[in-house]
Every structure is written in C-alpha cells, then in structure tokens.
Amino acid sequence: MHAKVGRFDAYTPDINLFDVILAILSRSLPKRGMKFSSPLPKIHDFFFKMKKSYPVIFEDVHFRESPDYRYSKEIADCFIELQEAGYLTRPNPSLSMYRIDADLSEDTFSQKKPDHKTMNEIAELFNKNFTIIYDEQRSAC
C-alpha cells in the first residue's frame, strides 16, 4: 500500500507482521506462562517455509537464503518488538526458550487481518514444528 509521509511517497505493508505473528502465537500459546522451545535458526526456517506456502501474508518478509542459515531481519525485529511490548520473554540463559507473558486468549487482535482461517492453519503448523510447554506455576503469577 502506498501512502504519503509528509510530501513523500512511502510504502507501508498491507498486512502488519507484528499482528500476524501475534495472531499465530495467540492460537498456539493462548495462556500466560506457556512456552515454546526453539533455537533462533529454527524460527527463521519455519517462517521461510511459511512465506513459500503463504506468500501474500509474508510478502514483505525477506530472507537471506543461505542453505546453512536462513535469516530475516523482519522476523528478528518482530520477535524483539513482541518482547518489548511485554507479550514474550526469553527466560533461559541459552535464549532458546520463549515464554508468553500475557494472556493472549482474549485479545481482539486475533480477529483483525489477516484471515482467521489462514492464521489457524499456520498456528497448527507452528504447533507441529515447536514443542509447546505449559508452566502452570508461572501462569499463577
């Protein structure tokens, strides 16, 4: 989508990546205290595959296509934004575990773009690719 920033033309994505990833997480890990384990390269590889399967949703996500390590600055920045917004933390020293620090089950963002059915499909794939852990002790905090 093209917009004006002052007197200059600017491009803004039709679909916000932050909302997309938050929608995926809200379907996969809806409760505070839920965790998923993953080294960072596996997250980038997952979203690389999702871009191939859902090119419209991930149109503005770009990857360095190294066979050894696929990396997307947009994905990395989005996970940092999720941490800064208080939705997600990395509580372990190895930084390969992510914990949901907000109750995502009742937020209204999951009803926004993109398509609800597609987000459910991607969330199912996310659940198959990552180990989901529910820490009941942490959720009581």
pLDDT per residue as tens digits for the range 53-92: 999 999 999 999 787 889 999 999 999 999 999 999 988 7
Backbone angles phi, psi at 55, to 5 degrees: -65, -30
According to DSSP, residue 94 is labeled T
The one-letter code for the residue type at 62 is H
3-state secondary structure of 45: helix
pLDDT digits (tens, 9 = 90+) for 1-31: 555 566 666 666 678 899 999 999 999 998 9
CB atoms within 10 A of CB 96: 14
Q: Could you give the residue ranges of the DSSP H alpha helices within the chain?
A: 17-28, 40-53, 73-84, 116-129, 136-139
CA distance 55 to 73: 17
